[in-house]
């Protein structure tokens, strides 16, 4: 790729990342093959943004809660933007995303918290909680097809979670729905890798 086109592509990527969240910075470097790697680095504390009235009303109605209970505008705007995106194994875009890819993007763009890319590795950065203690933003894992931690979603409120379903794509579902609850394995909050390393 010509240098001018590479610089233009980097500018576009950087603009998208920085416009989605002002509390992140980007580090760029070239690998051995000359390809540019973009790394998003967390900086500063996560700041919650109030949702707009329409978004709050929509998701409060969907989950059977009061509009005032929808406080995290970044979370519900992200969900609204991705809602209905089809499932695609290994996908990371709105033309197709898998469950762990969706969680990876949500945690980074909403909470400024990087997590690993796959379900099997995401479960390793979660501090386990009892189901009744789950809070908005916690991860929930399922064992489908006899495979441990083969599906992941993000807990919301009132027993609901958001995930990239293989049949319907990105959607909100009840944890206690008959077809899914029997596969529920564990849930918990994402731990900060830096904090975990200091505690070891």
151 is an active site residue: yes
Catalytic residue among 22, 99, 119, 176: 99
Q: What is the pLDDT of residue 23?
A: 44
Please report, for the domain that includes residue 184, its CATH number: 3.90.1720.10
Say if 173 falls within a structural domain. yes
**96-97 and 92-93 beta bridge pairing:** antiparallel
Whether residues 30 and 63 share a domain: the answer is no
Whether residues 10 and 69 share a domain: the answer is no
Do residues 18 and 41 lie in contact, with contact meaning Cβ atoms separated by under 8 Å?
Answer: no
Whether residues 34 and 133 share a domain: the answer is no
22 is an active site residue: no
Render pLDDT for 115-155 as a digit per residue (tens, 0 to 9): 999 999 999 999 999 999 999 999 999 999 889 999 999 99
DSSP secondary structure string, 70-98? ---HHHHHHHHHHTTPPB-TT-EETTEE-
Q: Decide if pLDDT at 21 tops 50.
A: no
CA–centroid distance for 68 within its chain? 23
99 is an active site residue: yes
Say if 188 falls within a structural domain. yes
Cα–Cα dist 56/73, whole Å: 8
Catalytic residue among 21, 119, 163, 176: 163
Catalytic residue among 21, 119, 151, 176: 151
Question: Which residues of 112-159 form beta strands (DSSP E)?
Answer: 126-129, 139-142, 151-155
CA–centroid distance for 133 within its chain? 20
Q: Decide if pLDDT at 109 tops 50.
A: yes
Give the residue numbers spanning the domain of 19: 3-42
Q: Decide if pLDDT at 2 tops 60.
A: no
Whether residues 35 and 62 share a domain: the answer is no
Give the chain's length. Answer: 200
Render pLDDT for 59-88 as a digit per residue (tens, 0 to 9): 999 999 999 999 999 999 999 999 999 999
Q: Decide if pLDDT at 47 tops 50.
A: yes
Whether residues 111 and 190 share a domain: the answer is yes
Say if 48 falls within a structural domain. no
Q: What is the pLDDT confidence band of residue 30, given thresholds at 50, 70 and 90? A: very low
As for how many domains the chain has, the answer is 2
Say if 70 falls within a structural domain. yes
């Amino acid at each position: 790729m010509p240098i001018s086109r590479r610089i233009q592509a980097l500018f576009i990527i950087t603009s998208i990342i920085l416009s989605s969240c002002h509390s992140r910075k980007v580090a760029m470097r070239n690998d051995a093959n000359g390809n540019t790697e973009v790394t998003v680095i967390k900086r500063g504390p996560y700041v919650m943004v109030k949702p707009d009235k329409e978004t709050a009303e929509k998701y409060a109605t969907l989950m059977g809660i009061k509009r005032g209970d929808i406080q995290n505008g970044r979370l519900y705007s992200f969900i609204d933007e991705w809602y209905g995106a089809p499932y695609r194994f290994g996908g990371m875009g709105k033309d197709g995303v898998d469950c762990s890819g969706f969680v990876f993007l949500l945690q980074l763009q909403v909470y400024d918290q990087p997590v690993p890319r796959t379900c099997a590795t995401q479960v390793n950065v979660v501090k386990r909680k009892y189901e009744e203690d789950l809070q908005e933003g916690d991860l929930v894992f399922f064992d489908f097809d006899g495979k441990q931690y083969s599906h992941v979603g993000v807990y919301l409120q009132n027993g609901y979670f958001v995930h990239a379903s293989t049949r319907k794509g990105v959607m909100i579902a009840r944890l206690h729905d008959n077809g899914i609850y029997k596969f529920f394995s564990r849930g918990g909050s994402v731990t900060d890798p830096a904090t975990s390393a200091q505690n070891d």
